[in-house]
Amino acid sequence: MERWVDLARARELTTSLVVKRDEECVPLSSAHGYVLAQPIIADRDDPHADMSAMDGFAVHSSATLSATLDKPISLVIQDSIFAGAEGRIPELVDGQAIRIMTGGRVPLGTTGIVLVEHTEITTDGRLLVHHPSGNHIRRQGEHHRSGDILLDRGHRINAATIATLATVGLTEVPVFTPLRIAVLPTGDELVEPGFPVAPGQIRESNSWALAAHLCALGHVAQRLKPQSDNLDQLRARLDDLSDSYDVIITSGGVSMGDADYVRRLMLEEGQTLFWRIKMKPGSPPLAGRWKGTPIFGLPGNPVSSLVVLRVLVEPWLEQCNHSDATDQLIQVQLGSDLPPVNDRMLFTRLWIDWNQFPLVAYPLSHQGSGHPSSLPNADALAWLEPGTDTTVGSSIPVILL
Ligand code: AMP
Ligand code: MG
């Protein structure tokens, strides 16, 4: 077991906890938010034939080269082609033009499309072209070829993905079965919202926030009733959870206090990979296995628990999804000084002035790890490695919330 590790080392260690995923098929209509378990392969060329990209007239481009407003070219309109037209497409005859709609299959011999707005029709039905044709043809296979890999395993399905899946004809989508995650808050002082709170008690908020974020990541997170600070009961609870969940996430009880039983139990009886990370807020966490099930012990302080979820657990879940867990950091300019970063990473809560370029970020006034209302108003967390210059005007990386 390692103590007081860098965040990078903590992440490296949790790689050994990555869980093997089950796969299932879900209907296309409810696939949003799931993660692809298989690569998606094109079943046909796209476009599947040469298609017009504009409403206009299919022509031999050489015939319209000299067309101007003053000296229009006159052509005979041979036919009309609509998007979706089945059967044989007519062949373009010299000196003629074929009316074509966007998405219509272009006639054989077509080398250009004249836009509708560059034409007029005479009273006797001839076409007057007053601008040369353009190359408004989408060639067969220009977007992709049959057999191309369009999306990789691990891709999170968004609205654009849904369009691609529909394009290749999938009505059932192979996805990873969401992980069943137990979210267990611990602490004698915790009372569920909706119940009276006595002096000394506080409302339990962590499990609500953690479960909400985990569900937004596409998993099935189950919020559990708070566990009191009792070693034997906690042991029994973890035994139960390890039987019925893929992952256990606890909050509270991992710090240095006498009632921090998650830490005591894990250090004495669990398989703990590390305890404590060089970061602020959020230094107390641990990770490992309880009876074979991956367990993350998050801090009790509300801000710390969410920050650790974001920078440690979320990248780990991305690894479990076989997807790229690269941190998406952007650079901003500091609008005021931040404290110097000494021996541990700082994740200062910032708000961003989106009207300035480069973007300017300011720290929120309350940075305490127990301050519940400073996080909802934050746009980003500063991503400050030890030694980063944190004086006003310097450029720093941040992770958006
Ligand atoms: P602990 O790490 O258990 O010492 O908790 C640190 C601080 O976070 C204490 O002030 C706790 O009361 C508070 N805390 C612990 N768990 C929760 C929770 N689930 N919701 C809100 N606050 C909590
Ligand atoms: Mg506690």
Quick: pLDDT tens for 140-170: 999 999 999 999 999 999 999 999 999 999 9
Contact partners, residue 116, CB within 8 Å, separation at least 6: 54, 55, 56, 57
Q: Is the pLDDT of residue 180 over 90?
A: yes
- Dump pLDDT digits (tens) for 22-78: 999 999 999 999 999 999 999 999 999 999 999 999 999 999 999 999 999 999 999
Q: For residue 61, how far is its CA from the centre of ligand 1 (angstroms)?
A: 74
Q: Is the pLDDT of residue 117 over 80?
A: yes
Contact partners, residue 12, CB within 8 Å, separation at least 6: none
pLDDT for residue 373: 79
- Closest ligand 1 atom to residue 284 Cα is 2
Alpha-carbon distance of 340 to 389, in angstroms, equals 7
For the CA of 183, the nearest ligand: 1
Buried residues in 135-162 as b, exposed as e (16+ CB within 10 A): ebbbebbeebeeeeebbebbbbbeeebb
Q: For residue 254, how far is its CA from the centre of ligand 2 (angstroms)?
A: 8
pLDDT for residue 325: 78
- Closest ligand 1 atom to residue 255 Cα is 2
> Once rounded to an integer, what is the mean pLDDT over residues 396-400?
97
Q: For residue 299, how far is its CA from the centre of ligand 1 (angstroms)?
A: 7
pTM of the model: 0.93
- Dump pLDDT digits (tens) for 287-318: 999 999 999 999 999 999 999 999 999 999 99
Q: How confident is the model at residue 368 (pLDDT cuts 50, 70, 90)?
A: confident
For the CA of 301, the nearest ligand: 1
Q: What is the dihedral of CA 398, 312, 207, 382, to 10 degrees?
A: -20
Residue from 188, 190, 230, 255 to probe ligand 1 pocket by mutation (most atoms less than 8 Å from CB): 190
pLDDT for residue 230: 98
Q: For residue 325, how far is its CA from the centre of ligand 1 (angstroms)?
A: 29
pLDDT for residue 228: 98
- Closest ligand 1 atom to residue 257 Cα is 4
Q: Tell me if 388 sits within 8 A of 396, measured CB to CB.
A: yes
Alpha-carbon distance of 175 to 157, in angstroms, equals 9
Closest C-alpha to ligand 1, atom 5: 300
Q: How confident is the model at residue 386 (pLDDT cuts 50, 70, 90)?
A: very high
Closest C-alpha to ligand 1, atom 10: 301
pLDDT for residue 372: 74
Residue from 301, 304, 305, 309 to probe ligand 1 pocket by mutation (most atoms less than 8 Å from CB): 301
* Average pLDDT of every residue of the chain: 97
Q: For residue 205, how far is its CA from the centre of ligand 1 (angstroms)?
A: 9
> Once rounded to an integer, what is the mean pLDDT over residues 322-327?
89
Ligand 1 neighbours, Cβ below 6 Å, are 185, 187, 189-190, 202, 204-207, 251-253, 255, 257, 299-302, 370
Q: How confident is the model at residue 237 (pLDDT cuts 50, 70, 90)?
A: very high
What's the longest Cα–Cα distance across the chain?
97
Q: Is the pLDDT of residue 216 over 80?
A: yes
- Closest ligand 1 atom to residue 189 Cα is 12
Angle value at C-alpha 202, between 196 and 204, nearest 5 degrees = 95
Which residues are within 5 Å of ligand 2 (an ion), measured at CB?
187, 252-253, 300
Q: Tell me if 295 sits within 8 A of 285, measured CB to CB.
A: no
- Closest ligand 1 atom to residue 207 Cα is 19
Q: Is the pLDDT of residue 367 over 90?
A: no
